[in-house]
Amino acid sequence: MPHRTPTATEVRMFVTEAETTSFQPPTPLTRRMPITNKMEFVPANAYDGIPMYSILNRNGKLADGVEEPKLDKDLLVRMYTKMVQMNIIDQIMYESQRQGRISFYMTHYGEEGVLIGSAAALDDKDLVFVQYREYGVLLWRNFSVNQTMQQCYSTMYDYGKGRQMPIHYGSTEQHFVTVSSTLATQMPQAVGTAYAYKLAQKKQCVACYFGDGAASEGDAHASFNFAGVLGTPIIFICRNNGYAISTPTHEQYSCDGVAARGPSYGLTTIRVDGQDILAMYLAVQEARRFVLEQQKPVLIEAMTYRIGHHSTSDDSTAYRSVDEVRTWDEHAHPITRLRQYLLDRGYWSEQQDKDIKAAFKKEVLQNIKEVEKVPKPPISDLFTDVYKDMPTHLKEQMTYMLNHVQHYKDGYPVDLFAKEKS
């Protein structure tokens, strides 16, 4: 067709009836694009905030007009006890770090509902990629307290062979990909795994957890966009706990949180009250049904609050008020809410509460006692697993180091480490 300048009517047709004209853009937009003759910029605050799905109020009562969710008593009790167990492990391990027994720790205070609620709704074989504050998923999947301690104390029985900092858990049995400190790097990886699952027609999905701070990384953008474009069965779960170390969310983004970004990437999205474990459970359950059926991604933004310090290397009173923390701890705690819900229904008693807490405490302390006596891994584990098979130059370096340590025993804490396998 010879080139000519389109008339005004045609230009308008180009927009309104793109499919019927030869002036169609090479790749059509994925959404309908209405036309306007008025110059109107879309204001930055054009859209109202995405509402937060919540069914359990602060007092553990169902919100007005909400139908009783049909959840099994055993499931509810298990969710509750796992949150409590997690909380106790956090308390003791935090103290353990304060006493210098382990080098580092991160608690999950306030976010127990997000973790246990979502983990309970996933299938235990769905592969989970996490940031680092997601121990609850492991615990839900029966990762042993003993193995938890072996990791934090870097013993020879740690699956990670003592190479990473405490709380960098990983387990194939629990389908929980090993934690790394780099923020958001797990996000495009999780999309890749979900794509592989799709190709293999595996009946599992992938869940990917991250914080509101990590969502600012370029990898978060990459993952949302890849997931949207390639269509992968993945559930993104954002823990929006108000802070990234000292940075409050108003210094993290100026949009409507993380959820608002979802639809713009083609992600089906919901915002959930992370302090309401029932809402969390129901939302993830529905998300899982959706991603498996549609083979498309879902984004869930769980609104929560980081009650604890960022880590044992952080004193959060330097940047936020103790009152603010207390308010959340006392009035919006996921554990308190669910306990009240259970008590109201006669599923749980104060005595059971006391007993189970004592039992959990005892279990952790016993394990610590045992694990503290376990040697660190053999020194040669410093050199293995860099590659699948050890290359020549690493063999040389390992031989050198083992000989060196033999000769300079006094200079190194050799007694703490396991003997080399002959």
Partner 1 sequence: MSLTSFRFTVRALLRKKVSPRKLRWEQAASSCEMQKRSAGHFTFVPDTPSSSDGETARLNLYQAITNALDLTLSSDPTAVIFGEDVAFGGVFRCTVGLQEKYGKHRVFNTPLCEQGIAGFGIGMAVAGATAVAEMQFADYIYPAFDQLVNEAAKYRYRSGGLFNCGGLTVRAPCGAVGHGALYHSQSPEAFFAHVPGLRIVMPRGPIQAKGLLRACVQNQDPCIFFEPKILYRLAVEQVPLKDYTLPLDKAQVLQEGDDITLLGWGTQVHVLREVAQMVQDKLNASCELIDLCTLMPWDKETVANSVRKTGRLLVAHEAPLTAGLGAEIAAAIQEECFLSLEAPVQRVTGFDTPFPHIFEPFYLPDKWRCFDAIKKMMNY
95 included as an active-site residue:
yes
Instruction: Report the residue number, 223 or 252, with the smaller CB distance to partner 1.
Output: 223
Measured from the CB of residue 236, what is the shortest distance to partner 1 in angstroms?
A: 13
Residue ranges in contact with partner 1 by CB under 8 A? 127, 129, 158-161, 163-164, 168, 170-172, 177-178, 180, 182, 185, 187-197, 199-200, 218-219, 221-223, 225-226, 229-230, 384-388, 391-394
Measured from the CB of residue 200, what is the shortest distance to partner 1 in angstroms?
A: 7
Measured from the CB of residue 15, what is the shortest distance to partner 1 in angstroms?
A: 25
Instruction: Report the residue number, 84 or 206, with the smaller CB distance to partner 1.
Output: 206
**Residue 15: which residues within 8 A CB-CB, separation 6 or more?**
33, 35
Among residues 10, 103, 173, 181, the one annotated as catalytic is 181
Instruction: Report the residue number, 169 or 360, with the smaller CB distance to partner 1.
Output: 169
Measured from the CB of residue 88, what is the shortest distance to partner 1 in angstroms?
A: 26
Instruction: Report the residue number, 229 or 359, with the smaller CB distance to partner 1.
Output: 229
What are the backbone angles phi and psi of residue 120, rounded to the nearest 5°?
-65, -30
Among residues 54, 310, 316, 333, the one annotated as catalytic is 310
Instruction: Report the residue number, 102 or 191, with the smaller CB distance to partner 1.
Output: 191
54 included as an active-site residue:
no
181 included as an active-site residue:
yes
Measured from the CB of residue 171, what is the shortest distance to partner 1 in angstroms?
A: 7
3-state secondary structure the chain: CCCCCCCHHHHHHHHHCHHHCCCCCCCCCCCCCCCCCCCCCCCCCCCCCCCEECCECCCCCECCCCCCCCCCHHHHHHHHHHHHHHHHHHHHHHHHHHCCCCCCCCCCCCCHHHHHHHHHHCCCCCEEECCCCCHHHHHHCCCCHHHHHHHHCCCCCCCCCCCCCCCCCCECCCCECCCCCCCCCHHHHHHHHHHHHHHCCCCCCEEEEEECCHHHCHHHHHHHHHHHHHCCCEEEEEEECCEECCEEHHHCCCCCCCCCHHHHCCCEEEEEECCCHHHHHHHHHHHHHHHHHHCCCEEEEEECCCCCCCCCCCCHHHCCCHHHHHHHHHHCCHHHHHHHHHHHCCCCCHHHHHHHHHHHHHHHHHHHHHHCCCCECCHHHHCCCCCCCCCHHHHHHHHHHHHHHHHCHHHCCHHHECCCCC
Measured from the CB of residue 302, what is the shortest distance to partner 1 in angstroms?
A: 22
Q: How far apart are CA 165 and CA 22, in angstroms?
A: 60
Measured from the CB of residue 336, what is the shortest distance to partner 1 in angstroms?
A: 36
Among residues 54, 118, 154, 311, the one annotated as catalytic is 311
Instruction: Report the residue number, 174 or 240, with the smaller CB distance to partner 1.
Output: 174
Among residues 17, 95, 251, 396, the one annotated as catalytic is 95
311 included as an active-site residue:
yes
Instruction: Report the residue number, 55 or 106, with the smaller CB distance to partner 1.
Output: 106
By annotation, the residues acting in catalysis are: 95, 181, 310-311
